[in-house]
Amino acid sequence: MIKSVEPIEVTYPSGTKHSYPDLLPRFMKAKVDYINACIGVKLTPSEIIKYLNHMSLSAKFADEDATELLVEIPPTRADILHACDIMEDVAIAYGFNNIPKTLPSSATIGKALPINKFSDSVRKEIALAGWTEVLPLILVSYFKRSSKKILKYDFFNTLFFFLSSVHMMRILRI
């Protein structure tokens, strides 16, 4: 069981020294209008600060006219990267069921991007030609790949997978 976190000092070849882990809080600004527009409600800056406090984020006014908030992000909240993450925490604390249901202000028609349509048609034609599409194991660790006895050979953008006791398959990677 871990009882404490102790810092370690790293000295880089350039001579600079840094202590890790950096347990200091980060600060980020978020506009009150942005938060209200994204959620679809009209909250006062004080209410937003209250909701952020419910989510373990302390905030204060960044300017005199209270149009922007300065949010203190603790090191335990690595999931907060942008102002939209702060807005999401306000929406969670406000309650998704409390957000009024409205129709969009503009009508849109969804469709696939041209590159996706082209990729789908190429993928279909290659499958009809008898080729097999394979997702590469690039995100799987070497240990897991080798424990499953999968060897990967890259030969002119063609991947050949040899599985243990299975014959060689012809595979084309797009």
How many Cβ atoms are within 10 Å of 46's Cβ, its own excluded? 10
Structure-model confidence comparison of residues 21 and 141, the more confident one: 21
All structural domains of the chain, each given as residue ranges with its CATH number in brackets, are 25-98 (3.30.56.10), 114-162 (no CATH)
Residues 108, 67: Cα–Cα separation, whole Å? 31
Q: Name the average pLDDT for the chain.
A: 80
Residue with tokens 């243990």: 164
Q: What is the pLDDT of residue 52?
A: 96
pLDDT tens, residue by residue, 59-84: 999 988 889 999 999 988 889 999 99
Residue 69: closest CA among 92, 94, 43, 95: 43
Mean pLDDT of 122-143: 74
The tens digit of pLDDT for each residue in 18-51 reads 888 888 899 999 999 999 999 999 999 999 999 9
Global pTM?
0.58
SS3 for 66-123 is: CCEEEEEECCCCCCCCCHHHHHHHHHHHHCHHHCCCCCCCCCCCCCCCHHHHHHHHHH
Give residue 38's pLDDT: 94
